[in-house]
Chains A and B, each alone.
Chain A
Amino acid sequence: METDLKRRILLKGSLTASALGVAVAAGLLTPQRVLAAWPDKAFAAKTLPEMLQELLGDGNTEESGDINIKAPDIAENGAVVPVTISTNIAGAESIAVVAINNPAPLIASYNLGEGAEGFVSTRIKMGKSGDVIAVVKSGGKLYSAKKGVKVTIGGCGG
């Protein structure tokens, strides 16, 4: 088990993107079995359009009333802010969680697999007060909703 895991990590690290691409094209690996690389550019992006362009290939979102963000109005401790996103948008494929005023605004990106409901819950860090934004992808379009959270003690600094 231990060696197996190490082997997988080694393999993953040593395969170049092009080699993976060739393997996919040759049908050796089905796309579902290839875990896409961690999207470093999206995580480094400071603005929502830039981030979403990198992450989902589209920088435009449409505000939607079908996305519900459950987060406290006032977070006493910015290091632990419980955020639950739920949506009843049909065919939701992915959910991104963003704290727009954080130094690194993109917090998490979830890909919903077969049977997964439009629901994710995580605890996030917030450096200062600001909007928590949820972006849901469905049918090639992006839908968003936001909720303001006031942070009394920031959770990103030292």
Chain B
Amino acid sequence: MAENSIKIRAKLQEDVTTVKALMTHPMETGSRKDKDGQLIPAHYIQEITCESGGKTLLTAFWSGGVSKNPYLSFKFKGGKAGDMLKLSWMDNKGESASEEVEIS
């Protein structure tokens, strides 16, 4: 998988950390056709996991209905500045990527 396919930020404000992530992925549904009328095979992220300090903050199951180059944002309590936060994804072809960021 391409390098730096995830851009992620985790910002702590008062006691809530807001995570914003952008992933590079085609998110093909499998029902789109190319210009020759051939179906483009499905290729999309199916699972997302986000964890920090040994705790799972969020897991997600996605379909090809999530837009290309997906954006995901969520919020959680209990994060501290300087903690590391990790987001990983796996797609329907078994490809995966992950990225870590420090909460600031």
Contacts and interface: CB of A to CB of B under 8 A. Distances in A.
A35 B50 CA distance: 12
Contact of A116 (B49, B74, B90, B96): B74
Interface in B28-50: 29, 31-34, 40, 46-47, 49-50
A121 B47 CA distance: 16
A106 B63 contact: yes
Contacts of A104: 29, 63-65
A109 B60 contact: yes
Contacts of B40: 158
A75 to B, nearest CB: 11
Contacts of A107: 62-63, 65-66
Contacts, number: 123
B75 A119 contact: yes
6 contacts: A79-B68, A112-B58, A113-B50, A115-B55, A123-B70, A124-B66
Interface of A: 5, 9, 13, 32, 35, 38-39, 43, 79-82, 84, 99, 102-117, 119-125, 155-158
Main secondary structure of the interface of B (DSSP, over half): strand
A39 B61 CA distance: 8
A117 B79 CA distance: 12
Interface of B: 16, 29, 31-34, 40, 46-47, 49-51, 55-68, 70-79, 90, 94, 96
A158 B40 CA distance: 10
Contacts of B68: 79-80
Contact of B62 (A84, A103, A108): A108
A132 B74 CA distance: 19
A110 B60 contact: yes
Given A156-B31, A158-B34, A111 B60 contact: yes
Given A79-B68, A119-B75, A158-B33, A113 B59 contact: yes
B32 A121 contact: no
B66 A113 contact: no
B73 A120 contact: yes
A82 B73 CA distance: 11
Given A111-B58, A111-B60, A113-B58, 14 more contacts: A5-B96, A38-B47, A82-B71, A107-B63, A115-B57, A116-B75, A119-B73, A120-B73, A120-B74, A122-B67, A122-B70, A122-B71, A122-B73, A156-B32
